[in-house]
């Protein structure tokens, strides 16, 4: 088989065979195919797309490129959740204890990654003592005992995806539905999930800018999941503004605590209830989505969701008393309000811009080696549809540096104001 023939075939819009797809993925993983041929191949896929069969085969080839986590010793149906990325997405912090509180086993493998804020791991590490350096045996034992544990990414999972994603990043081929779908689904499958709930974000702050593309990506991932025997559902949710109010590591932990008590931001609570209900349903802990939602709301009301979070933090060395005394979480030296530049209504908040503002404060990593400041970030006070008066605070900057001129400007620029009250956008589209 010759790579040049496969590139040509895809360039001309023909369907590749299983053997051809395996040849590409295996060759690239073990360094027998050069970056320039892989780049050309990815660009051909970008323009020509892939059929459902090709996409499923690509996913399986990436899955087989490395190790897979075996969660067979965990009792029950392991349901994982994946979001296609957003700004201030606190859902995992809320969902893990929330669904565990109704008996869904949550065996979360989590990485640090690059972004506006740290990953779920970094956020959890703002709780003093909390750590994810546990053995696989301890991890499995904890999930069986408490229904929830988080372990740092270990082993050699989907090396094909790591290499391909890095190359896509620098060849303008990230935004391809079959490439995104196979990248996400291969990782979810490698980390051992029996069933998967996908949160596909749509809007200015997401990969998918419009509902049609979001639907195509959701359909592609659901189809892969179901073809390979992992029960998969997708929700399409809004990313036309940041989710919730908090963007920052410890700030998001505080927001998650409030949400587990039923006092969180409306959009974050609603998204967690919708995603959580689907997880409960796939784990067969409820018969209908309504029943699942009632169970989850009950755990928020009666305190069991919050107790589950405490139990989970303590089991991994964390100081669970932060939940009753949030001043024990890392706190930035300065809290600086951002004044509204005019009267009116908020009509848009560009999520990426707010994310970059948080990153400039030190909440996220620019390179793998960067250290992050867990205490800093941005808390929004006004969201789309809210009325504002000139000079009223639209957000608060949490910073360890006194000079926040650039960050302030970014936040103000992220907001658009209008005279007429705009319609509130739904958080869930489908
Ligand atoms: N997230 C992933 O993991 N992969 C992609 O290709 C895009 C988003
Ligand atoms: Ca948030």
Residue 144 alpha carbon to ligand 2 centre in Å = 29
User: Which one of 174, 185, 205, 220 would you pick to mutate in the ligand 1 pocket, going by the greatest count of ligand atoms within 8 A of its CB?
Assistant: 174
pLDDT score recorded for residue 34:
97
| Residue 360 exposure: Cα atoms within 13 Å on the Cβ side | 17
SS3 track for the chain? CCHHHHHHHHHCCCCCCHHHHHHHHHHHHCCCCCHHHHHHHHHHHHHHCCCHHHHHHHHHHHHCCCECCCCCCCCCCCEEEEECCCCCCCHHHHHHHHHHCCCCCEEEEECCCCCCCCCHHHHHCCCCCCCCCCCHHHHHHHHHHHCEEEEECCCCECHHHHHHHHHHHCCCCCCCHHHHHHHHHHHHHHCCCCEEEEEEEECCCCCECCHHHHHHHHHHHHHHHHHCCCEEEEEEEECCCCCCCEEEHHHHHHHHHHHHCCCCCHHHHHHHHHHHHHHHHHCCCCCCHHHHHHHHHHHHHHCHHHHHHHHHHHHCCCCHHHHCCHHHCCCCCEEEEEECCCCEEEEEECHHHHHHHHHHHCCCCCCCCCCCCCCCEEEECCCCCCEECCCCEEEEEEECCCCCHHHHHHHHHHEEEECCCCCCCCCECC
Residue 111 has pLDDT above 80, yes or no: no
Sheet holding 415-418, edge to edge: 387-388, 344-349, 415-418
Residue 114 has pLDDT above 90, yes or no: no
409 is catalytic: no
244-300 pLDDT per residue, tens: 999 999 999 999 999 999 999 999 999 999 999 999 999 999 999 999 999 999 999
The percentage of residues in the chain with a pLDDT greater than 70, rounded to a whole number, is 100
Residue 84 has pLDDT above 90, yes or no: no
pLDDT score recorded for residue 117:
82
At 171, is the pLDDT very low, low, confident or very high (cuts 50, 70, 90)? very high
Token readout for 126 is 């703002």
**Helix pair 91-100, 249-260: axis angle to 10 deg:** 40
- Reference 129, options 373, 319, 371; nearest CA is 319
For the CA of 174, the closest atom of ligand 1 is 6
pLDDT score recorded for residue 360:
95
At 367, is the pLDDT very low, low, confident or very high (cuts 50, 70, 90)? confident
End-to-end CA distance of the chain: 43
Separation of alpha carbons 98 and 260, rounded Å: 7
Separation of alpha carbons 44 and 79, rounded Å: 34
Cβ 59 vs Cβ 224: under 8 Å: yes
At 206, is the pLDDT very low, low, confident or very high (cuts 50, 70, 90)? confident
pLDDT score recorded for residue 399:
98
SS3 track for 382-416? CCCCCEECCCCEEEEEEECCCCCHHHHHHHHHHEE
At 118, is the pLDDT very low, low, confident or very high (cuts 50, 70, 90)? confident
Q: What is the ipTM of this complex?
A: 0.89
When pLDDT is averaged across residues 70-87 and rounded to a whole number, the result is 89
227-247 pLDDT per residue, tens: 889 999 999 999 989 999 999
380-418 pLDDT per residue, tens: 999 999 999 999 999 999 999 999 999 999 999 999 999
Residues 6+ apart with CB under 8 A from 244: 88, 90, 252, 255, 259, 264, 265, 267, 268
pLDDT score recorded for residue 314:
98
Question: How wide is the angle at C-alpha 189 spanned by C-alphas 283 and 146, nearest 5°?
Answer: 45
* Ligand 1 shell residues, CB under 6 Å: 84-85, 165, 174, 179-180, 183-184
Cβ 104 vs Cβ 280: under 8 Å: yes
Residues 6+ apart with CB under 8 A from 405: none
Q: Which of 82, 254, 310, 382 is catalytic?
A: 82
82 is catalytic: yes
Residue 206 alpha carbon to ligand 1 centre in Å = 11
183 is catalytic: yes
182 is catalytic: no
At 92, is the pLDDT very low, low, confident or very high (cuts 50, 70, 90)? very high
Residue 396 alpha carbon to ligand 1 centre in Å = 31
Token readout for 233 is 């559902």
Residue 135 has pLDDT above 80, yes or no: yes
pLDDT score recorded for residue 19:
98
108 is catalytic: no
145-162 pLDDT per residue, tens: 999 999 987 778 899 999
Cβ 342 vs Cβ 390: under 8 Å: yes
């Amino acid at each position: 088989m010759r790579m040049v023939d496969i590139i040509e075939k895809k360039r001309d819009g023909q369907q590749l065979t299983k053997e051809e797809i395996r040849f590409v993925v295996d060759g690239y993983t073990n360094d027998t195919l050069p970056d320039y041929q892989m780049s050309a191949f990815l660009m051909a896929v970008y323009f020509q797309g892939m059929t459902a069969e090709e996409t499923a085969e690509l996913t399986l080839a990436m899955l087989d490129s490395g190790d897979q986590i075996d969660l067979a010793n965990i009792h029950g149906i392991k349901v994982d959740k994946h979001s296609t990325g957003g700004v201030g997405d606190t859902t995992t912090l809320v969902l893990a204890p929330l669904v565990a509180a109704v008996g869904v086993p949550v065996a979360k493998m989590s990485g640090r990654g690059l972004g506006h804020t740290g990953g779920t791991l970094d956020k959890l590490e703002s709780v003093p003592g909390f750590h994810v350096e546990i053995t696989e045996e301890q991890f499995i034992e904890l999930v069986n005992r408490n229904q929830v544990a988080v372990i740092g990414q270990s082993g050699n999972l989907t090396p094909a995806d790591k290499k391909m994603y890095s190359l896509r990043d620098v060849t303008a081929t990230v935004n391809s539905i079959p490439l995104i779908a196979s990248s996400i689904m291969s990782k979810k499958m490698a980390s051992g999930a029996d069933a998967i709930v996908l949160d596909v974000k749509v809007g200015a702050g997401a990969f998918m800018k419009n509902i049609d593309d979001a639907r195509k990506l959701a359909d592609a991932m659901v189809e892969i999941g179901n073809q390979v025997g992992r029960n998969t559902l997708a929700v399409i949710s809004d990313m036309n503004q940041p989710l919730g109010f908090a963007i920052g590591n410890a700030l998001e932990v505080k927001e998650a605590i409030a949400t587990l008590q039923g006092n969180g931001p409306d959009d974050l609570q609603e998204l967690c209830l919708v995603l959580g209900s689907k997880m409960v349903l796939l784990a067969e802990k409820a018969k209908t989505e309504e029943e699942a939602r009632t169970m989850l709301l009950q755990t928020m009301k009666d305190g069991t969701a919050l107790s589950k979070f405490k139990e989970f933090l303590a089991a991994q060395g964390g100081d669970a008393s932060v939940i009753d005394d949030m001043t024990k979480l890392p706190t930035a030296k300065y809290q600086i309000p951002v004044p509204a530049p005019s009267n009116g209504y908020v009509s848009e908040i560009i999520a990426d811009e707010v994310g970059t503002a948080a990153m400039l404060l030190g909440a996220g990593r620019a390179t793998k080696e960067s250290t992050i400041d867990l205490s800093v970030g941005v808390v929004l006070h006004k969201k789309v549809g809210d009325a504002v008066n000139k000079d009223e605070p639209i957000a608060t900057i949490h910073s360890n540096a006194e000079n926040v001129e650039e960050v302030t400007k970014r936040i103000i620029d992220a907001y658009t104001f209008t005279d007429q009250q705009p319609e509130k956008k739904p958080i869930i589209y489908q």
